[in-house]
Amino acid sequence: MESTAIHAAKQILFIVGIILLAGSFSGILAQKFKVPDVVVFLLIGIGLGPELAGVIDVRADSTINQLILIFGSSYILFDGGAGLRLKVLKEVWITIVIISTVGVLITTAIAGLAALQFLGMPLITALLLGSTIASTDPATLVPVFKQVRIKDRVAQTVMSESAFNDAMGAIVTFTIMGVALGTGGPFSLGAATFSLVSNALIGVLIGGVLGYAAAFLIAHEKFGFLLEYAPLVTLMAVVGAYMSAESMHASGFMAVFVFGIMLGNKDTFGFTMEEQEQEKLEDFVLTTSLIMRMFIFILLGSQVNFALIGKYLWGGIALVLVFMFIARPVTVFCCALPDRRTRWSLKEMLFMSWTRETGVIPGALAGMLLGMKVPGGEIIASVTFITILLTILIQATTTRWLAGKLGLLLDEPQIPLRSFNGNDLPTPE
């Protein structure tokens, strides 16, 4: 008779095998129907979950699920940062800063008022729900823009926003939670602002230092002794950046994103890699990111609770419609119009108004609130999942179509599939 540990290990191996198998076929379907793969992963996860087929049953609060969420999101975010160009970020940084800070507050307020109206929640709980779903999701947006070819500055603004607004979303959420639980004392704008700035700056500093160090150890002409182990360096540095930032109460996601930017733009600092080693690193990063997307979204889909969603379905749908068609456009126009330097066109702002998928980070925040038994935690978790499902299934699948209609779709990829060699390579057919 086998031990409990061996039985549990076999169960985990079985689930891993099922996810990899299902993810592989899902990727083929996504290519065939020309939709982002995260959409298919999510649907397959729903089908395999305990509510339907019952093949995959991983609790949202389990250690393995949290490990996959944290590391997977971090690595996907690192990959997204590595594909961004510093010269483009210099052009749009004003919009990114405003939409990642003030924009989160605007979205929180509008979504909170909608929750107050349609769900009859107390004001503080409604605002807590608004802040939970206010941040966009890099784990969804980065893969979408890897597959849908959009103008550089638009794609990189939306992706950068998704990385930077996670810190703001978390700060606002936990500030409101403190008020809801009576543990945070009276709200202090000064304290919240200081927390946001320090959170962001520490994350940027840690990511920048580790990114430069990794580039130096991998690609320095004389001292790059870890060149052959570059793929392993990315794993170590992603974990190190996230854990270092979190241990200092800063944003781990900010740190890994900046780490990716530094390593992806290493040519700017005078570091180059041999072509063979570049290709090995790039292939590893692409494959690892793909596997992480499979695990995150198939598991996320498998954790759908139809009973909980059904309980708040219509109020949740009404809130999501306000969220998509009022909160996001108001946020984008209020935050992009003041940026006279970038001079956003109407079509670009309309596209950014539609592109704001909700995913892993809001889901994780909702799970934490539920676990902490915050007042209204059950309804927050339910509506958050409705928001995740609708925004991914509706907005992610129509991104290519809308970009084409607005004339923003490009023939060549705006983010090279090989992010580390400094050259834009064509997408393989």
The pLDDT tens digits for 374-383 are: 888 888 888 9
* Cα distances (Å, whole numbers) of residue 5 to 1, 8, 247, 256, 401: 12, 5, 30, 33, 49
pLDDT at residue 126, as a whole number: 93
Distance of alpha carbon 67 from alpha carbon 63, whole angstroms: 6
Closest to 277 (Cα-Cα) out of 325, 233, 331: 233
pLDDT at residue 206, as a whole number: 94
pLDDT at residue 317, as a whole number: 94
Q: Which CATH class is domain 14-406?
A: mainly alpha
Cα angle value 394/397/400 (rounded, 5°): 130
pTM of the model as a whole? 0.80
- Bridge partners of residue 409, in order along the sequence: 150
Specify whether the CB–CB gap between 148 and 400 falls below 8 A. Answer: yes
Distance of CA 112 to the CA centre of its chain: 22
How confident is the prediction along the chain (429 residues), in pLDDT tens digits per residue? 677 888 888 889 999 999 999 999 998 988 888 777 878 888 899 899 998 888 998 887 788 888 888 888 888 888 878 877 787 778 888 998 899 889 999 999 999 999 999 998 899 999 999 999 998 877 677 777 777 788 888 888 888 888 777 767 877 887 788 777 776 556 666 776 777 778 778 988 999 999 999 988 888 777 778 888 888 989 999 999 999 998 998 878 888 988 998 988 888 887 887 777 788 888 898 899 889 888 988 988 888 888 878 888 999 999 999 999 999 999 999 999 998 888 899 999 999 999 887 877 787 778 777 767 788 888 888 898 889 888 888 888 888 889 889 988 876 544 444 455 544 443 433
pLDDT at residue 426, as a whole number: 38
pLDDT at residue 185, as a whole number: 59
pLDDT at residue 414, as a whole number: 46
pLDDT at residue 1, as a whole number: 60
Cα angle value 169/170/171 (rounded, 5°): 95
Distance of alpha carbon 363 from alpha carbon 302, whole angstroms: 13
Element holding 78 (H helix, E strand): helix 63-82
